[in-house]
Structure 1
Amino acid sequence: IHACKCFIPVANDTKRHHSNLRATDRLPNVKNRNTYKSSESESDSDLEPPGHRGESTFWRRKIRTFHGIIDVNKDGVISYDDFVLLGERFIELGHLTEKHTTEFRALLKDLWEKRWGPVNPYNLVTVEQFLEDMHHVINDKRLVRKAHSFLPYLFRALDKDQSGEISEDEFKLFFTCLGLREEDASLAFRCMDKDGDGVVAMKEFVKQGREFFLTEDEEKVSKYFFGPLMDH
């Protein structure tokens, strides 16, 4: 992926509170554009080898930024309620099938329990805990393959006509659900839309989202996937 020619501010004007979580493309052949299956043969040739990922200040900024997004009530920690509220924003768009809605809710609950333990109001994830957990995930060959499993559901939630492609307006819904600004969504979308045809397919969406968590290359356009990065 080449560096984006768009200008996107690196820091957001609004301070975000910090909290903690763990993460998740080369995508395999799919039966249709709105179907995605994870592949064990995904290529990470452009990444640091396992054991050496997540060492840069840049990577930490990205993960802090993501933690701040998941911290829906902005109290500085992530709770299961934050997790559910964010997921429900995408479900409430009304574009997921009943089957995908059920799968998405089950996936989020399973992800929480496997990464952070029991669902209760006292189980809170700080930003430092989140950073530590994400560092572990991206350096584990098994865990890293599954860390982006929620992304296809986000895409389907945005894809109004289930065409397997989303427009800039549909992508803006993504940023709206995340509590981010529309103008930042426009810039991020135009950088992702490399061929300039006005749409982004699921494959590219998932690729950019996964790469956000994995790469430490500051020239990759995936750094814009979740909006402007925190300063530090």
Structure 2
Amino acid sequence: MNLKKSLLIIIAVLIIDQLSKIYIKTNFQLGESVEVFSWFKILFIENSGAAWGAKLSDFLPISEPSGKLVLTVFRLFAVAGIGYWLYDTVRKKSSQTLVLAVCLIFAGALGNIIDSVFYGVIFSDSYQQLATAFSDEPYGSLFYGKVVDMLYFPMVDTTWPSWVPYLGGSSFRFFEPVFNIADMAISTGVGILLVFNKKAFGKAGDESVEETE
């Protein structure tokens, strides 16, 4: 896969990701949801931390704003590193499987870093109101934006049977996390690397050989 095709994949993921986030941000109040199916909802939340909403301040003796800044800067370096990895895989004519996986991971990481870096100075607050873009009263500042999440799949929503030790009577929900298109791209890219590891890290010609066998 050449650099042009790689860029098209990245741009397509970014456009879908950002359009979905902007639509949710400007049409939903924070916490508002719409049920599409019993097992799928559109639920607007914002994530100021890392995966699963974790924050550095939960683990380190630093303030929440400082933790947010450190996390955003780390993400920027991570995106730069993934970008170089992508360039290197294309330059070395690595397998299409590897290039596709890295494209998805890079696009997803870049999609979320756009939220973290810019959304705080672009949008107004979403709490009990609809946010507006390019507001005179943005909810944050540069590097202090929150990632917009909206895809929620509570496929199982029940309670543990009373006879289950320690858990009996407590609620059980699967799948609990709320995520976005960028997260899906990252997860898909990582999944490709795990499932098709041998094909991804084999020689570029291996795929064409397999296809002709």
Q: Could you tell me the TM-score, scaled by structure 2's length? A: 0.27
- Structure number with higher helix proportion: 2
Q: Could you tell me the TM-score, scaled by structure 1's length? A: 0.26
- Structure number with higher strand proportion: 2
- Identify which of structures 1 and 2 has the higher relative contact order when contacts are C-alpha pairs closer than 8 Å and 6+ apart: 1
